[in-house]
Structure 1
Amino acid sequence: MRISAIYLSIAVFFVAVLSISTGYAENLRVMLHCGSFPPYYFVDDKVNTGIVKDIFNAFAAETGDTIEFVRCPFNRSQYEFERGKIDIEPMSNPKWRQFSKVPGVYSKSFAVSDSIVLFARDAVVSTASPEKLLGKVIGTVRGYYYPVFSPYFEDGRMVSHMLENENKLIELLLAGRLDQALMNKDFALYQIKNRNLGDRLIVSKPYDSLDMMIRFHPSKKDAVPRFNKAIDKLLSDGTIKKIYDSYR
């Protein structure tokens, strides 16, 4: 009986140790917007999973968390985040969410997002600064905040033509209904390369560059330290760079 008791004690000890080591792991709901936003995420693509899924799967391998990707329209995803129904916005910056009811808690930076002006080839100006585009109608995405350009939209020095997503912006540029649009550099370059649009669209130099961080709902703030540790490791061993490079 004493031997059985000893074995039972040992078993309980190891279960307790295992619980301590994995007790912080959670199921985390990560927002993905509806549709495709290559190279960050794709819909029904048997070859490409996208930068966001690849990076968060790598994070999960380090943290022990389970990642659940939740798809919904952009505005809806922000609402669900504020309600605590979505735990993570995968790539964000405090400047983008400064007007949110729930700004969130941020990890350290793991990448950089470059913002550019995408021009129809016959509407290119010398620089992408707002001063060179005064009075223009600029294509934007509904619900997005553009730290450099938004003050110009707000006081009427230029007009924001809002559309549902970046794909719509490109279609209006190609149709000649817009001359310029604001968007992410990686997305624009991916579209130009894969749709052979180099003779029709021109990418400006970045007018703004922001650090990309993980935005956590405050209820998940305890996850931030372990994700910061994972970020340090995946940056130092080159994993994040390899993921980005695989889509370029």
Structure 2
Amino acid sequence: MHFIFNNIKHYYVCFLLLVLPLFAHTKTFDVLLYNDGNPPYSMFNSGQKSGIFIDIFKRLSELTGHKFNFRQLPVARGLREFDMGNIDIEPGINISWRKSRAEVGLYTIAYASSTEVLFGKKIKKIGSATDIYHSMVGIVRGYKYAVLENHFSKDKIIKIENRSEKELLKQLVRNHIDYVCIGYITAKYYQLQNPQYRIFENVFELGNADVSMRLHPKNEKYLSEFNKALAFMIKNKEIDAIYQKYTFSKLK
């Protein structure tokens, strides 16, 4: 009887979350996505949008009744538009990444984490940057990694820059470079898409940060609502399921 009651209670809560917002005031939020996409978080193909962010907002729309309008902008312009209040939400952000902005923003509860890794063949144990001296390491142009910055030089770690993780992985599989600095989820996405990359793995963690939805302060009254919806998704493993949809696992 206790089990039945708990199930009824669970589905009643689900019903309230799903149905009550439909009778409340709904709003359309402008969500920032960056030009050229950011696989697997946001991807654009023949006018169609897909990816982790799109799936999360689709579910948030079902839970809250709100609508989300995706705006593709260059990074610099997107950040300015947020500062001016023309963008409502920037997804997948840690507050430390935006502290220097004119408008820092408000943040929901963390719904996932962002892990940056050194990706390549696990030939030896790597415990620090000095263990990869005299190696060629690929980095997306403009990106910085605190644990490596003081070690880049022709006599230490040789930095090889390219325009995207996708291009760096092509260099890695051709043995043109030894390692790639890349987001762990991004690496697992490309492994899902291309079996050639499955010989590589995370050999050293470069950094880890929790990520949230960054809201412009004009939307403060909606913060609690988004927190409740995200908490519901986290508790029911919906966020995990979305991430797993776009990443390679040996168990698949």
Q: TM-score range by the shorter chain?
A: 0.7 to 0.9
Which residue is 1:10 aligned to?
none
Kept in 1: contact 2:43–2:51 (CA 8 A)? yes
Letter aligned with residue 85 of structure 2: G
RMSD: 3.4
Which residue is 2:185 aligned to?
186
Q: How does 1:117-196 map to 2 (within 5 A)?
A: 117-119=118-120, 121=121, 125-127=124-126, 129-133=128-132, 138-150=137-149, 161-196=160-195
Kept in 1: contact 2:22–2:64 (CA 8 A)? no
Which residue is 1:223 aligned to?
222
For residues 135 and 221 of structure 1, what CA distance do their matches in structure 2 show? 50
Q: Deviations over 1:28-82 (max 9, x none)?
A: 1112222343332222279982111011111122222210111123343333323
Which residue is 1:242 aligned to?
241
Kept in 2: contact 1:29–1:67 (CA 8 A)? yes
For residues 226 and 151 of structure 2, what CA distance do their matches in structure 1 show? 36
Does the C-alpha gap of structure 1 residues 102 and 140 become closer, same or farther in structure 2, counting only changes over 3 Å? farther
Does the C-alpha gap of structure 1 residues 216 and 35 become closer, same or farther in structure 2, counting only changes over 3 Å? same
TM-score (norm 1): 0.74
Deviation of 1:132 after TM superposition, in Å, equals 2.7
Moved more, 50-59 or 128-137: 128-137
Kept in 1: contact 2:30–2:87 (CA 8 A)? yes
| CA radius of gyration, larger in | 1
Does the C-alpha gap of structure 1 residues 175 and 19 become closer, same or farther in structure 2, counting only changes over 3 Å? closer
Deviation of 1:183 after TM superposition, in Å, equals 1.2
Deviation of 1:152 after TM superposition, in Å, equals 5.6
Which residue is 2:40 aligned to?
39
For residues 158 and 56 of structure 2, what CA distance do their matches in structure 1 show? 36
Gaps of 5+ in 2: 1-19, 248-252
For residues 100 and 38 of structure 2, what CA distance do their matches in structure 1 show? 24
Percent identity of the aligned residues?
A: 26
TM-score (norm 2): 0.73
**Secondary structure, counterpart of 1:197 in structure 2:** helix
**Secondary structure, counterpart of 1:109 in structure 2:** coil
